[in-house]
Amino acid sequence: MAYCPCGGGWCTILCRDNWQTGPEMMMAIRSRLRVLLFLCALLIAPGSLKAAYVWSVVPQYSGIAVHRDWTPLLNHLTKVTGADFTLKIYDTIPKFELGFLDGAPDFAYMNPYHAVMAHRMQGYLPIVRSDKRKLQGILVVRKDSGIDTVQDLDGKQIAFPSPNAFAAALYMRALLTEKERIQFTPVYSGTHSNAYRFTLTGKTDASGAVIRTLLKERPEVQQALKTIYSTPKYPSHPLTVHPRVPQDVRTAVQKAILALNDTEEGRSLLKPILLSAAIAADYDRDYQPLELLKLEQYWVVHK
């Protein structure tokens, strides 16, 4: 005799009609359960590209500039990979550092020594960097300041974007202290743009920065400053990924970015974020050598 024990509900999903013979109904239930379980597995799979990921960028410039330059890339990556990316903007470099040291962002574009500390503290791994650009710190002064050498800055005030900005401040402070043997008072401005303006307005006698940020400033800013000292060059800022991000997502993002090298439109997305000529990054090859500089004594822990 035909029957339906649940009287509706799930039975309307599991059974095409509510009245089947016992064995037939059980076979239908098993078949439909397998389909439902498969669909659920797809939805909760750890490697699913449907998840949303937090993306952060070291704030060398204003938040408006970060949003303007990076949003087109994230929109492109969503279209290509199917994953969603949320751009979290930090207004200062110290806040950004606290964020990645706590493991907050899933993806983070950071300076080379940030990559060392992020790898050490959270296991972040670099996946992409520019092969075209090398990172070099510069020390700039006003052209009309009368300052021509590093020794002229002995006892003066120097603006830096952040204590831990690698080439602009961390490495620069170490070189000025240990190699050039000068004494100075550091003043931290929060961003590279602010550091330049501290010097232009006379708040400080010089600014530590990196050459590529100076080249992005307005012509009148560039023309009012001159470089009197430079650091050695190192591989540039990498895009890093937290180890919790599934491998298939990391690979998809890396491949999508590297593919942008192949088209004019793609290269136009890479240029403003300073990832032109993007290549796969490798921690051991590119950033582990920075550990030998032993800059830990100059690293400032923010609270």
Q: Spell out the domain ranges in the chain.
A: 11-44, 53-134+244-298, 137-232
Tens of pLDDT along 125-157?
Answer: 999 999 988 899 999 999 999 999 999 999 999
Task: Decide whether 53-134+244-298 matches 137-232 in CATH topology.
Answer: yes
Specify the 3-state DSSP secondary structure of 157. strand
pTM of the predicted structure, to 2 decimals: 0.73
| Architecture of the domain defined by 137-232 | 3-Layer(aba) Sandwich (3.40)
- Tell me the two tokens of residue 207: 């600014």
Q: Is pLDDT larger for residue 255 or for residue 45?
A: 255
Cβ atoms of 136 and 175 closer than 8 Å: no
Q: Is the dihedral of CA 165, 166, 171, 172 positive or negative?
A: negative
Q: What's the CATH number for 53-134+244-298?
A: 3.40.190.10
- Tens of pLDDT along 31-74? 454 444 444 444 444 444 557 999 999 998 889 999 999 999 99
